[in-house]
Structure 1
């Protein structure tokens, strides 16, 4: 096989973050005494949270600001007098306990760890992502975890990928591949850094961006066969 370093995005690639996110959000609201209107609240939270993450990835806001602001803005939109800082702490503490694996995650990590080195590259919070990996049962397959919080830069910034490369043993661009669900962070980052990429696209969305994946798959089960086929080209 051509590749020996497999850099996986975490959320919505190996872990079903959408499922985990909702479970944690509901638990947080219940802990704050809110048991009604949670679905509508969560819908607005997702929109606000997504926009804040986009701003974080461009350097417009800090991670600490994002973690609290997403709750403050959501509560303000609904006229709720809840404490956004308490909500942030409760939510982040809940996330490692609501881990849901995407189908094929364990199998692909085991298979690729037997071939080379598996690393995680994520824009998430350092302590939370490491706890979630431990809860997921994938830790024995993973050599290192590179987070934007520890790095100080977020995907698709080239400096983040340089940081991740320094954690690998050893790092050779031609032997590395990024596997992720986001064109604007994972695939664009791979393009900028000059390494191969696999777009995990379970919804089979059209690519209307400037990011160009080396190949794409709709299932994690398809990654190893695709990598073997690529090695024959």
Structure 2
């Protein structure tokens, strides 16, 4: 069975989609625009492209955080200070406490079964910790591996090597990585020889190479107990 659970945070435990939209709406309002879904889609297109480059080691984290809003608003001939806008966005994001449905009960069931749970997330350390604290679930984790502190993005085997080196009694056969990203979560785990569980948070995203696939997060509980590959 799996006794060590490495779990992604955004859209696996924390509802990042809800937090992002709410924070983005406030940024749009600050600039004096009327929110539209098209604005959000354009921003996400820019943001996702930058994060992919970061995960591949092509650009540093500061470029992602400090240029995404200036790049976005430039599309509409609006010029903002990218650093200041990012700081404001981060302030709003830090206040979020929205959870993926059933994620808290899943964590509590895992703890009842004696599992050790560690967050494994690409992101800003202070933001992730604040959101977990706001949601009242920070104490359900045994530790946190956030890329900003680790020094490597989750796709890199070095990220998982850091986890191995900093988890007591780490036995690879008893470890599973759980997340909603086929790239950073699932491929990252595969590159490091760790079993993986793809949580299909977005029904339009498929993953054919995970050890397991689930559509509701609470299904993870049975997987950790059975340790038997699903069809």
Normalised TM-score (structure 2): 0.92
Query: C-alpha distance in 1, partners of 2:154/2:229?
Result: 30
Superposition deviation, residue 9 in structure 1: 0.3
CA RMSD of aligned residues (A): 1.9
Superposition deviation, residue 130 in structure 1: 1.2
Candidates 215, 223, 226, aligned match of 1:226? 223
Query: C-alpha distance in 2, partners of 1:52/1:99?
Result: 25
Query: C-alpha distance in 1, partners of 2:222/2:31?
Result: 49
Instruction: Assess if the C-alpha contact under 8 Å between 1:29 and 1:35 holds in 2.
Output: yes
Instruction: Assess if the C-alpha contact under 8 Å between 1:57 and 1:155 holds in 2.
Output: yes
Partner of 1:88: 86
Gaps of 5+ in 1: none
Deviation per CA, 1:91-145: give whole Å up to 9, x if none.
Answer: 0111121231001110111111232210000110111111111112111100111
Query: C-alpha distance in 1, partners of 2:182/2:196?
Result: 10
Q: Say yes or no: does 1:121 pair with 2:117.
A: no
Aligned 1:1-233 pairs, distance under 5 A: 2-30=1-29, 32-114=30-112, 115-205=114-204, 207=206, 212-230=209-227
Query: C-alpha distance in 1, partners of 2:229/2:156?
Result: 31
Gaps of 5+ in 2: none
Query: C-alpha distance in 2, partners of 1:156/1:184?
Result: 7
Superposition deviation, residue 231 in structure 1: 5.2
In the TM superposition, structure 1's runs of 4+ consecutive aligned residues that sit over 6 Å from their partners are none
Report the CA distance shift for 1:188/1:177 in structure 2 as closer, same or farther (over 3 A).
same
Query: C-alpha distance in 1, partners of 2:98/2:79?
Result: 31
3-state SS of 1:169 partner: coil
Instruction: Assess if the C-alpha contact under 8 Å between 2:28 and 2:35 holds in 1.
Output: no
Normalised TM-score (structure 1): 0.92
Instruction: Assess if the C-alpha contact under 8 Å between 1:41 and 1:78 holds in 2.
Output: no
Query: C-alpha distance in 1, partners of 2:201/2:110?
Result: 20
Deviation per CA, 1:151-179: give whole Å up to 9, x if none.
Answer: 22101100001112223222110111000
Superposition deviation, residue 28 in structure 1: 2.3
Report the CA distance shift for 1:29/1:155 in structure 2 as closer, same or farther (over 3 A).
same
Deviates more, 1:78-87 or 1:101-110: 78-87
Superposition deviation, residue 204 in structure 1: 4.3
Deviation per CA, 1:180-204: give whole Å up to 9, x if none.
Answer: 0011111111111111111101444
Report the CA distance shift for 1:208/1:17 in structure 2 as closer, same or farther (over 3 A).
closer
3-state SS of 2:220 partner: helix
Superposition deviation, residue 232 in structure 1: 9.6
Report the CA distance shift for 1:151/1:206 in structure 2 as closer, same or farther (over 3 A).
closer
